[in-house]
Amino acid sequence: MLIAGNWKMYKGPGETREFCSAFTPPASIEAVICPPFGSLGAGVASGHTIFAQNVHWAEEGAFTGEVSAPILVELGVQGAIVGHSERRQYFGETDETIARRVFAAVEHGLRAIACVGESAEERESGQMDLVLRLQVEALADAVGPHERLVIAYEPIWAIGTGKTATPAIAQEAHAFIKSLLDVPVLYGGSVKPDNAAELLAQPDVDGALVGGASLDVESFAAICLAAASLR
Ligand code: PGA
């Protein structure tokens, strides 16, 4: 069971150090913190498992504003989120660029949490299966069922909205994703201490990618505890 906290563009090094020294996850689950780039070093120094929020496909080069897998490895970062819907929506990421980033990450020994998920319109117009299929097949073509690849199912309508997928909706999507690519699948989208247990209890929900509720050490620890109580 993997519980990852996606801090997005919150918490500088000072707040990262404070959070990390107060955070003691249960030993039976894997807790990962994903701070913004400038706080990665502070996170790594705390001894917690730290992932970045993106990684470029090239080893180095003229790519202003990007960070490479070798740089992350040198920093002591263990993995990266790739293809978050905010990256797709605001920064033009496509299934192709995401697949290239995931490939580079795993090639360099990093783990990757690759995000997929449909919008409200895609769900309502019956296109959800097609959208998920295209997103997952791009990953399958790039790296296949790689041991360092995890998928996060994050329905866009549930991110930062307080609207969570029901456990049944999550389970159905996770089973579909696994039928296309057999890797662990995390659920993401308004996971909170009070809904974590019922989501994580679903047979094909292998963990959670937590946004807002991971910024507060008590609520993130409560979600980790809910996970630990299940397995
Ligand atoms: P949320 O974000 O938990 O705040 O909905 C999840 C995510 O964006 O990964």
pLDDT in tens, 116-144: 999 999 999 999 999 999 999 999 999 99
* pLDDT for residue 164: 87
Mean pLDDT along residues 76-93? 97
Beta carbons within 8 Å of 216's beta carbon, 6+ residues apart:
none
Pairing relation of β-strands 185-188 and 111-116? unpaired
Mean pLDDT along residues 61-65? 98
* pLDDT for residue 163: 86
Residue whose Cα lies nearest atom 3 of ligand 1: it is 211
Residue 162 predicted with pLDDT over 90: no
Collapsing DSSP states into helix, strand and coil, what is residue 155?
Answer: coil
Residue whose Cα lies nearest atom 9 of ligand 1: it is 211
Query: How many other CB atoms are there within 10 angstroms of residue 128's CB atom?
Result: 18
**CA neighbours closer than 13 Å in the CB half-sphere of residue 15:** 13
* pLDDT for residue 160: 85
Distance CA 172, CA 174 (A): 6
Residues within a 6 A CB radius of ligand 1: 6, 154, 159-160, 188-191, 209-213
Residue 228 predicted with pLDDT over 80: yes
Residue whose Cα lies nearest atom 7 of ligand 1: it is 211
* pLDDT for residue 231: 64
Query: When comparing pLDDT for 212 and 164, which is higher?
Result: 212
Beta-strand runs (E) in 122-194: 149-153, 185-188
Distance CA 128, CA 68 (A): 32
Helix H or strand E encompassing 79 = strand 79-82
Lowest mean pLDDT among 14-23, 94-103, 158-167: 158-167
Question: For residue 209, which atom of ligand 1 is closest to its CA?
Answer: 9
Collapsing DSSP states into helix, strand and coil, what is residue 65?
Answer: coil
Active site (catalytic) residues: 84, 154
Question: Quick one: what percent of the chain has pLDDT higher than 90?
Answer: 97
The answer to whether the pTM exceeds 0.95 is yes
Question: For residue 86, which atom of ligand 1 is closest to its CA?
Answer: 8
* pLDDT for residue 130: 97
Average pLDDT of the chain?
A: 97
Distance 53 CA to ligand 1 centre (A): 13
Q: Position of tokens 């662990």?
A: 184
The rounded radius of gyration (Å) of the Cα atoms in the chain is 16
- Nearest 10 degrees: Cα torsion 92, 137, 52, 29: 140
Quickly state the pLDDT bin for 69 (edges 50, 70, 90): very high
